[in-house]
Amino acid sequence: MQEIRWGIMGCGGIAHMFATSLQALERGTLLAGASRTPKRAAEFAKKYGMARVYTDYEALVADPDVDAVYIATTHNFHFENVRLCLENGKHVLCEKPFTVNAVQTEELIKLAGAKKLFMMEAVWTRFLPAIDKLRELLAGGAIGDVLTVRADFSLMGDFGAEHRLKNKALAGGALLDLGIYPITFAALVFDEPPIRIQSSVVLGDTGVDERSFCLFDYSNGRCAMLSSSFTHDAPTEAVVCGTKGHIRMPWFLGGSELIIHRHDEEPPEILKFPYGEGENFKFEITHAMDCIAEGKTESPILPLAETLVILQTMDALRAQWGLKYDGE
């Protein structure tokens, strides 16, 4: 297989997860990184043995030896960062959310198509072995006809007004950062966009959504109850409910376990899919490298049309809340 030489744009927290996961693989090289904070880039390079360090993104994408770029900047910069990579002939793996809104994503899809470059949103949940098994079980009727999904991703912390979760200028809020996971989970179970979206939201002092509660209706009477928050504590789990049982997935965004409850059968069946600590992203990285090596321009697991649908869904929610970001 072709050896993919990676560059990283932005050397903050999420970039460390990418670098650690890449190191766990037998192929793929972290060649270069760029940060507008020179000290951060230098420290990152030292920690991961990265050969080249740049203090501006233009220099990174001008490097002829970089094949693909992982974008690890804050949400508000994703659109311009992806566009810069594409315009300079680089394949792109961009951390979720792919952009702030669907209009931006549509423009990038057109540009990637014109450039014939691979482009994918980095939603690591979709590439986990446990998710592969879940979809196999559902397709095989393990719990009968699936009627309902419940999923929540909430966390608590001492987030100041400038933290990316609360900072509106950085496209902050629970939805784009946390809520995208429950929405993604419902999408991969039902494999279609919702036909009706209802929601309620609590907006904080900084103008972003602190917590939201959503009810999505799908065809044939199916529904999803989804929530996200950074102001209350709740179990991060997903439950898929069918006519013959239900499947629980603890910490579903990075889940390594499925608990299958079949009606009138005890005990439940437990399936485990472990992976190494800090290797969370290795499955999506492997998939991206396979696609690039095979000359594909998008992922068959997470096609660009699916990324667009998720952005359109989140746009619809923000429209209900009256939440707009700078420039929208």
Residue 54 belongs to domain with CATH number: 3.40.50.720
328: DSSP letter: -
pLDDT at 162: 87
pLDDT at 1: 65
Q: What is the CATH number of the domain that holds 141?
A: 3.30.360.10
Q: How many domains does the chain have?
A: 2
Q: Which helix (H) or strand (E) holds 286?
A: helix 282-293
In-domain check, residue 328: no
Q: Which residue has the tokens 């109850």?
A: 225
* Domain match, 219 and 315 both: yes
Beta bridge partners of 247: 240, 260
- Tell me: do 92 and 200 sit in the same domain: no
- Answer yes or no: do 103 and 28 share one domain: yes
Q: Name the DSSP letter for residue 175.
A: I
Same domain, 287 and 259: no
Phi first, then psi: give them for residue 119, nearest 5 degrees. -145, 135
- Judge whether 33 and 7 are in contact, CB under 8 Å: yes
CA distance 301 to 120: 10
Residues 151 and 208 in one domain: yes
One domain for residues 135 and 237? yes
Which of 127, 76, 95 is closest to 14 using CA atoms?
95
Residue 5: count other Cβ atoms within 10 Å of its Cβ.
16
Neighbours of 85 (CB within 10 A): 30
- Same domain for 13 and 91, yes or no, is yes
Q: What are phi and psi of 51, to 5 degrees?
A: -75, -35
Pair (21, 99) in one structural domain: yes
Nearest alpha-carbon partner for 175 in 217, 149, 210, 151: 210
Judgement on whether residues 91 and 175 belong to the same structural domain of the protein: no
Tokens at 161, concatenated: 């007004």
Are residue 60 and residue 199 in the same domain, yes or no?
A: no
Dihedral sign (CA 291, 305, 252, 260): negative
d(CA 85, CA 295): 17
Give yes or no: residues 40 and 180 share one domain: no
Same domain for 72 and 141, yes or no, is no
Tell me if 303 is assigned to some domain: no
User: Does a structural domain hold residue 81?
Assistant: yes
Q: Is residue 166 part of a domain?
A: yes
For the residues of 107-154, what is the DSSP string, one character each? HHHHHHHHHT--EEEE-GGGG-HHHHHHHHHHHTTTTSSEEEEEEEEE
CA distance 182 to 314: 11
| Catalytic (active site) residue 96 | yes
Distances (CA, A) of 309 to 267, 300, 312: 38, 15, 5
Q: What is the pLDDT of residue 240?
A: 98
The active-site residue, picked from 46, 47, 96, 115, is 96
* Average pLDDT of adjacent 10-residue blocks, the chain of 328 residues: 92 95 96 92 94 95 98 97 98 98 98 98 98 98 98 91 92 97 98 98 96 98 98 95 98 97 93 95 98 98 98 98 93
Domain holding 252, by residue range, is 129-272+310-321
42 in a domain, yes or no?
Answer: yes
Burial class (CB in 10 A: 0-12, 13-18, 19+), 273: middle
Residue 248, H or E segment = strand 245-250
* Inside any domain, residue 326: no
How, if at all, do strands 223-229 and 146-154 pair?
Answer: parallel
pTM of the model as a whole: 0.96
